[in-house]
Amino acid sequence: MIVLIVLYGWIVWPPVPYYRNLTQKEKEQFMIILKSQKEPREQLKITCPSNDEDLCVIATGYLELFQRAGWRTPSGGIERGLYGKSVSGISIAKKPEPGTLDPNNPNLGLWVLQSPSMVTINNAFGSLHVRVSRLAEQDLPENTISIYFGPQPMH
């Protein structure tokens, strides 16, 4: 009976909201993971859609957590912009390995080195039960990671 109740709750229970106010404990855990990386950290470019002030406010909250954990951005703030293709949720991107990308073929992509900074950022968001998409962004400078806050994914 207990197994059936747990199974029913696991299937029916509502998922954790994607964008939500973080508790103090969640913020601290997020920063502990970010601070745990002792190797040189890559620079961050935190971006939100230029037409969505609510998402930019959310991105700013995360920017401040990154800054408190010792991570840096070129401007000290967020940037507004859009990807060539719409992306929902949070995505992290890095300059891909050398190669030629065909922007009209969605089945092909380029390899992105999963650097220690990429792994740390992924683990920090994972601690909040937030899945991130990993992308290649050819226009990024070397040693820079882009974190994009797109619209909430539709489940």
Instruction: Establish if 106 belongs to a structural domain.
Output: no
Instruction: Establish if 7 belongs to a structural domain.
Output: no
Q: Which pLDDT score is estimated for 45?
A: 95
Instruction: Establish if 12 belongs to a structural domain.
Output: no
pTM of the predicted protein model: 0.83
Q: Which pLDDT score is estimated for 136?
A: 81
Query: 20-53 pLDDT, tens per residue?
Result: 889 999 999 999 999 999 879 999 999 999 888 9
Helices 24-35 & 53-68, crossing angle to 10 degrees?
60
> Using alpha carbons only, how large is the chain's radius of gyration in Å?
17
Instruction: Establish if 9 belongs to a structural domain.
Output: no
Q: What is the mean pLDDT of residues 73-85?
A: 84
Q: What is the mean pLDDT of the chain?
A: 85
Total domains in the chain come to 1
- Residues 141 and 96: beta-carbon distance below 8 Å: no
Range(s) of the domain holding residue 29: 24-99+111-149
Range among 7-21, 53-67, 73-87, 127-141 rated most confident: 53-67
Distance (Å, rounded) from C-alpha 58 to C-alpha 115?
25
Q: Would you state the structure tokens that stand for residue 95, as one six-digit string?
A: 């300059």
Q: Is 45 exposed, middle or buried (0-12, 13-18, 19+ CB in 10 A)?
A: buried
Closest C-alpha to 135, from 5, 126, 76, 101: 101
Q: Is 11 exposed, middle or buried (0-12, 13-18, 19+ CB in 10 A)?
A: exposed
Q: Which pLDDT score is estimated for 152?
A: 85
Query: 4-14 pLDDT, tens per residue?
Result: 766 666 566 65
Q: Would you state the structure tokens that stand for residue 33, as one six-digit string?
A: 């993971």
Distance (Å, rounded) from C-alpha 57 to C-alpha 80?
11
Distance (Å, rounded) from C-alpha 108 to C-alpha 147?
22
